[in-house]
Amino acid sequence: MSYKTRKFQLISGDLMPLIGFGTFQIRGQQLIKDVLNWALAAGYRAIDTAAVYGNESDIGLALKDLLPKYNLQREDLFITSKLSPSDQGDKACDAVAASIKNLQCDYLDLYLIHWPGASGVPTESEVNAKLRSASWQSLIKAKDEGLVRNIGVSNYTVRHLTELLNSSYGVKPAVNQVEWHPGCHQDDLKQLCVQEGILLQAYSSLGGTGNKNLIRDPTVINIALKLGKSPAQILLCWAVQQNIAIIPKARAKERIDANIDLDFVIAEEDMTALSNRKHERFAWDPTKVH
């Protein structure tokens, strides 16, 4: 089966595309409509956004016009959004409803706690744990009410995830979305997710920006030349070849097309060479959040 159409069965039994379209830092009504138009044409059927991205309303407007164009129904898409750190706690269910209204849909396929901490709360404070616990209970309520089909987390470390799994709430997260690329991958976190049936989903697959972007890494470039692919395709394939979901973002049509065209195999020795890269985190660091 092609990676373009490959899906992962979540704990609920729902199927989630392994490759989704990320919308972080993509704003503006026309730009959103353009990139989603190209993404749907290329075969993407999962869209990832968040309350803090500030683009939910523009995505909702775009999909209202684009779904008929591609003869698609709402149920043909898998839509994810995320809880703002400012809404941690009992307000989480209301935040789900607000995202649904912005996106002009009746439900969300997946809703994630975006960050283990809360806005305005020191990272070392025990209040963070209490608020994310309240958020989870509120999201269980949203799930029970049919607002969201699956709930999960983002930026959770082994410690945060174990804390949640050891709670008495009885609902496991379906997904843990984290920074994941050859320079930042935690084998213990992956092992825990596989053990618990939780889909590990990568963001920042290409690393950082500027000189820290991994598409400039000599190992990545050499493997790309060997396979006749772009460095970005190598980095994305490195993840999906390990059954890790990805949500690459792009503004240009050719890159949107290339990011989902990953039907090739990276040799085991090259996979190892990529994985052995020096560890370097480029995005938020959740390890210090209590």
Alpha carbons 99 and 113: distance in angstroms, whole number: 13
pLDDT in tens, 248-276: 999 999 999 999 999 999 999 999 999 99
Torsion-angle region of 275 (φ positive above 0: left; ψ -120 to 50: alpha; else: beta):
alpha
Q: Average pLDDT of the chain? A: 96
Task: Inform me whether the pLDDT recorded for 212 exceeds 80.
Answer: no
Whether 1 shows a pLDDT value over 70: the answer reads: no
Q: To which residue do tokens 């070392």 refer?
A: 124
- Write down the catalytic residue from 53, 111, 156, 203: 53
Q: By CB neighbour count within 10 A (0-12 exposed, 13-18 middle, 19+ buried), where does 104 fall?
A: middle
Structure tokens of 50?
Answer: 């968040």
CA 100 to chain centroid, in Å, comes to 18
Q: pTM of this prediction?
A: 0.97
Is 147 in contact with 108 (CB distance < 8 Å)? yes
Amino acid at position 152, single letter:
G
How many Å apart are CA 4 and CA 236, to the nearest integer? 12
Q: What DSSP string runs through 189-237?
A: HHHHHHHHTPEEEEE-TTBSSGGGBGGG-HHHHHHHHHHT--HHHHHHH
117 vs 112: CA distance, rounded Å: 13
Is 181 assigned a ligand-binding role in the annotation?
no
pLDDT at 284: 83
Taking alpha carbons only, the member of 207, 201, 204 closest to residue 246 is 201
- Catalytic status, residue 53: yes
Across 234-240, average pLDDT: 98
Domains of the chain: 7-211+239-251 (3.20.20.100)
The string of pLDDT tens digits covering residues 131-157 is: 999 999 999 999 999 999 999 999 999
Locate all alpha helices (DSSP H) within the chain, ordered by sequence: 29-42, 56-69, 92-103, 127-144, 158-165, 187-196, 218-227, 231-240, 253-259, 268-275
Write down the pLDDT at residue 283: 83
